[in-house]
């Protein structure tokens, strides 16, 4: 990958991390989120050590690493998005996984993105505000707020 592309992706990841951090909040000890996933720091869910206190620097590093992965995933599945859209979709991937942009069989948003219907795809974001809690799919107020903020960013 050429340096210019790498630098642009890093800038998008940094901006998306700034967008995500207040939505996630910082928790330095592991906790279970509403769907029951062991989580720490700014929403990190991979290789979490229960009982460990994570430093703020560790949390920032995890956020940067996870967001870069989300930016790369969006770029692989839907290359060439305008920066605000790339940031919005990266935040969604960071928060709920790549299905929203990469799986056209399961996601209307992914189908629209792949068809180049970018604004229509942005309007799909609010539909992804649910999670399984106790086996039941429910809208979570924090996800509703976050998806609306992503939609606004996506359309800006």
Catalytic option among 2, 33, 91, 129:
33
Domain extents in the chain: 3-155
Q: Catalytic annotation on 24?
A: yes
Query: Are the C-beta atoms of 10 and 18 separated by less than 8 Å?
Result: no
CA distance 53 to 30: 8
| Residue 11 β-bridge partners | none
Half-sphere exposure of 76 (CA within 13 A, CB side): 11
Q: Catalytic annotation on 119?
A: no
Round the average pLDDT of the chain to a whole number and report it: 94
pTM equals 0.92
pLDDT of residue 1: 55
Q: 39-50 pLDDT, tens per residue?
A: 999 999 989 999
Residues 70-95 have a mean pLDDT of 96
Kindly report the CA angle at 22 between 3 and 69, in degrees rounded to 5?
35
CATH top class, domain 3-155: mainly alpha
Q: 96-154 pLDDT, tens per residue?
A: 999 999 999 999 999 999 999 999 999 999 999 998 888 889 999 999 999 999 999 99
Largest CA-CA distance found in the chain, in angstroms, rounded: 46
């Amino acid at each position: 990958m050429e340096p210019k592309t790498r630098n642009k992706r890093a800038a998008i990841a940094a901006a998306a991390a700034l967008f995500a951090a207040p939505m996630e909040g910082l928790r330095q000890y592991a906790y279970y989120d509403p769907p029951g996933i062991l989580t720490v720091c700014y929403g990190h869910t991979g290789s979490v050590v229960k009982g460990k206190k994570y430093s703020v620097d560790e949390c920032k590093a995890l956020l940067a690493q996870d967001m870069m992965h989300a930016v790369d995933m969006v770029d692989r599945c839907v290359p060439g998005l305008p920066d605000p859209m790339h940031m919005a979709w990266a935040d969604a991937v960071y928060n709920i996984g790549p299905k929203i942009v990469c799986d056209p069989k399961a996601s209307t948003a992914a189908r629209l993105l792949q068809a180049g219907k970018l604004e229509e795809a942005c309007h799909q974001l609010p539909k992804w505000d649910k999670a399984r809690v106790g086996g039941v799919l429910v809208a979570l107020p924090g996800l509703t707020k976050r998806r609306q903020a992503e939609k606004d960013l996506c359309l800006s």
